[in-house]
């Protein structure tokens, strides 16, 4: 009941005109960047960080969350209509959605995606409202060693456990951790990895890294392989409305998608790709129309779309309750909190309840706005895809550099932006995941601080990490999550040799 | 299952491994120049040590997967657009360094990027970029009071 009361209070914060306006701007921007290929919600939040620095924290964070939700809606439009998912979370949607669009059923595909996102987003946000306070109660008992262990779990699951290659994922993570070392050590005041460059004393800016990797890196990557494929936009033909049959076939996939998306998003398991593909394969197995799969089955759109929205709400649980980002967008939102000196976690729930609950309540409002924006107005969003690619990317780069210049107008900062852009390009080309770098840069210094705090309380005794039952359990999970993919790979290879 | 294709050594993959090892060495060397000043617990050296060792191990891991041809196939690569975009960024940086101002810098970056994506109208794009830069400058520097680099042109508007 406490949650309901707090939520009602949050609602009074969320319906303040300014906050409604921020939510609207957020969902508009989010949908736009979700529709446009090449920019996602993580990059958008990164671009907005320097601009929103002087705005009201509550409103800005409501806007960031709107962008996150909106990006999930908009990504499905691109996935269905041009088969190049705007977000990796929409990859599963593209499988059936684009087939439906080609078969002239683009309207119902977009409708089931939007309504499914709304259903999933609403259920999952309720889940967030009830789960986050519970997690906060648990987290109050956490000591620094427990936080350190928790971050170890996040490091491993984000980089190693669920990617294609644990070695490449961990490599990305360690590049992020290495970047996190740069700057003055907060406890002893010594400069690390600054090579006498004064601009590096403050450390590597998260926004510079994120904008470099996501915006410049993506632009370089797309430009370098432009000669390979041309994109075709499928026009939306026929009615937007779903038939009775469509509703009947969409309902359960929505619910099942939510049930996959929310818990997996809430676990520090990183990203929405896993629940979307789980949902896709489940729907494929359960469907009464298996012959339609691969040719445009509505279940294959409804399930994954619900899953990706539910997982977006899910990732907000560890972010708000523990300060633990498990996706690139959540990492950027954490950076957003930090720029106002706010640290998500139990303390934030106690000290700034109006901010936390205002945010959660505004998510319901954002969800309703998105349903309206995406169903009747989908035609408008599709027009965005008509922006010529050269101008689109030129505009992205102009905004990217402007954000960096506005934050720190220095040659060093801009050179780093270019260098991170090249890094992002190379990582895409050689298939290294990007998100672990950002997570490593943000969480690395926090993990180090927690570990050092834990060890100075224990007078340098490392056994403190194993004496706390929470920390010992979490470290155990981290070790298993680290070793498991290697063991599975070894088993596969063993089987292959047997055959 | 499929018979392995004869092992093809991935040179780019080996280079990545070498870079990782070099980075590990660099972090280690930087770490050894720090002074130990923590009485209890971990000093500032612990984390760099962990990262350095981790990178070294991953360097070896990457080298092994490169030797086994474990890296994914790569598509053909067009270098020209990359040179154009990086060139545009370099000119932008030069503009900031020599106080040419935000608007001309933006115009050049816009036109270079558009050219990298196949536009053949450099002058038109330069004009569009200039207009975009002007609007952004007015919007952000005036409305949101962000400080953007000033050149002769910006001072003219600003005054």
pLDDT at position B1 is 38
* H/E segment holding residue A365: helix A353-374
pLDDT of A390 strictly over 80:
yes
Over residues A79-109, the pLDDT tens digits come to 888 776 656 777 888 888 888 888 888 888 9
Contact A460 B88 (CB under 8 A): no
Runs of H (alpha helix) within chain B: 11-32, 46-67, 79-97, 102-116, 122-136, 152-158
Q: Which residues contact A387 (CB under 8 A, 6 or more apart)?
A: A36
pLDDT of A496 strictly over 90:
no
How far is the alpha carbon of B8 from chain A, nearest alpha carbon, in Å? 16
- The rounded distance, in Å, linking the Cα atoms of A329 and A308 is 13
The top-scoring range by mean pLDDT among A27-41, A198-212, B35-49 is A198-212
Over residues A461-485, the pLDDT tens digits come to 888 889 989 999 999 999 998 888 8
B66-125 residues touching A, CB cutoff 8 A: 70-72, 74-79, 81-82, 84-86, 88-90, 92-93, 96-97, 102, 105-106, 109-111, 113-119, 125
Percent of chain A scored above 70 by pLDDT?
95
Contact B140 A402 (CB under 8 A): yes
pLDDT of B4 strictly over 60:
no
Contact A190 B37 (CB under 8 A): yes
Over residues B55-88, the pLDDT tens digits come to 999 999 999 988 887 777 777 788 899 999 999 9
pLDDT of A19 strictly over 50:
yes
Q: Which residues contact A491 (CB under 8 A, 6 or more apart)?
A: none
Q: What pTM did the predictor assign?
A: 0.88
Percent of chain A scored above 90 by pLDDT?
34
Contact A448 B47 (CB under 8 A): yes
How far is the alpha carbon of A405 from chain B, nearest alpha carbon, in Å? 7
How far is the alpha carbon of B91 from chain A, nearest alpha carbon, in Å? 11
The most distant pair of C-alpha atoms in chain A lies apart, rounded to whole Å, by 71
Check if the interface score ipTM surpasses 0.85.
Answer: yes
B116-135 residues touching A, CB cutoff 8 A: 116-119, 125, 128-129, 132-133
Q: Mean pLDDT over residues A319-328, rounded?
A: 88
pLDDT at position B3 is 41
- The rounded distance, in Å, linking the Cα atoms of B117 and A224 is 9
Contact A398 B132 (CB under 8 A): yes
Contact B106 A421 (CB under 8 A): no
pLDDT of A374 strictly over 60:
yes
Question: Closest Cα partner for A188 from A476, A448, A380?
Answer: A448
Is residue A285 left, alpha or beta, with left meaning phi > 0 and alpha meaning psi from -120 to 50?
Answer: alpha
Contact B129 A394 (CB under 8 A): yes
């Amino acid at each position: 009941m406490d949650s309901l009361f707090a939520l009602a209070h949050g609602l009074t914060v969320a319906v303040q005109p300014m906050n409604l306006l921020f939510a609207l701007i957020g969902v508009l921007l989010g949908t736009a960047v979700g529709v446009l290929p090449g920019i996602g919600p993580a990059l958008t939040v990164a671009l907005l960080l320097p601009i929103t620095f002087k705005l009201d924290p509550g409103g800005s964070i409501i806007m960031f969350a709107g962008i996150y939700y909106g990006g999930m809606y908009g990504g499905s439009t691109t996935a269905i209509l041009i088969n190049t998912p705007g977000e990796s979370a929409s990859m599963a949607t593209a499988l059936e959605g684009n087939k439906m669009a080609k078969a002239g059923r683009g309207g119902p595909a977009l409708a089931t995606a939007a309504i499914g996102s709304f259903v999933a987003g609403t259920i999952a946000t309720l889940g967030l409202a009830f789960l986050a306070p519970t997690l906060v109660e648990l987290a109050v008992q956490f000591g620094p060693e427990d936080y350190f262990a928790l971050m170890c779990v996040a490091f491993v699951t984000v980089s190693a456990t669920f990617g294609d290659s644990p070695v490449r994922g961990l490599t990305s993570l360690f590049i992020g951790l290495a970047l996190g070392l740069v700057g003055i050590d907060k406890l002893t005041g010594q400069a690390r990895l600054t090579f006498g460059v004064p601009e590096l004393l403050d450390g590597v800016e998260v926004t510079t890294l994120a904008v470099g990797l996501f915006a410049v890196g993506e632009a370089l990557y797309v430009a370098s392989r432009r000669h390979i494929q041309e994109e075709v936009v499928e026009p939306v033909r026929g009615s937007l409305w779903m038939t009775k049959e469509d509703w009947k076939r969409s309902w359960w996939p929505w619910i099942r998608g939510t049930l996959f998306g929310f818990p997996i998003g809430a676990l520090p398991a990183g990203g929405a790709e896993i629940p979307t593909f789980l949902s896709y394969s489940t729907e494929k197995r359960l469907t009464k129309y298996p012959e339609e799969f691969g040719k445009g089955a509505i279940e294959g759109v409804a399930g994954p779309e619900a899953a990706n929205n539910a997982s977006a709400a899910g990732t907000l649980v560890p972010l708000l309750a523990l300060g633990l980002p498990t996706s690139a967008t959540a990492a950027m939102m954490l950076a957003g909190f930090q720029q106002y000196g706010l640290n998500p976690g139990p303390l934030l729930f106690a000290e700034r309840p109006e901010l936390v609950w205002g945010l959660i309540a505004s998510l319901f409002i954002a969800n309703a706005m998105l349903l309206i924006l995406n169903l009747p107005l989908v035609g408008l969003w599709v027009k965005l895809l008509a922006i010529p690619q050269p101008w689109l990317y030129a505009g992205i780069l102009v905004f990217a550099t402007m954000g960096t210049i506005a934050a720190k107008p220095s040659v060093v900062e801009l050179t780093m932006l270019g260098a991170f852009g090249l890094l992002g390009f190379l990582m895409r080309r050689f298939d290294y995941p990007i998100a672990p770098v950002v997570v490593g840069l943000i969480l690395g210094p926090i993990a180090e601080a927690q570990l050092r705090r834990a060890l100075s309380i224990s007078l340098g005794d490392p056994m403190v990490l194993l004496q706390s039952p929470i920390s010992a359990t979490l470290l155990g999970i981290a070790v298993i999550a680290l070793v498991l993919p290697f063991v599975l790979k070894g088993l596969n290879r063993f089987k292959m040799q047997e055959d | 299952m499929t018979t392995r294709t004869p092992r093809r050594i991935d040179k780019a993959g080996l280079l990545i491994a070498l870079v990782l090892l070099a980075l590990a060495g660099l972090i280690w060397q930087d770490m050894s120049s720090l002074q130990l000043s923590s009485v209890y617990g971990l000093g500032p050296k612990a984390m760099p040590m962990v990262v350095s060792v981790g990178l070294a191990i991953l360097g070896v891991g990457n080298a092994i997967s490169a030797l086994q041809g474990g890296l994914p196939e790569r598509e053909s690569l067009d270098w020209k657009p990359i040179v154009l975009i990086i060139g545009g960024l370099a000119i932008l940086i030069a503009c900031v360094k020599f106080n040419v101002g935000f608007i001309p810098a933006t115009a050049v970056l816009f036109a270079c990027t558009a050219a990298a994506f196949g536009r053949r109208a450099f002058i038109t794009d330069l004009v569009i970029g200039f207009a975009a830069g002007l609007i952004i400058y007015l919007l952000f520097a005036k409305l949101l009071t962000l400080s953007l680099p000033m050149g002769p042109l910006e001072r003219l508007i600003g005054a």
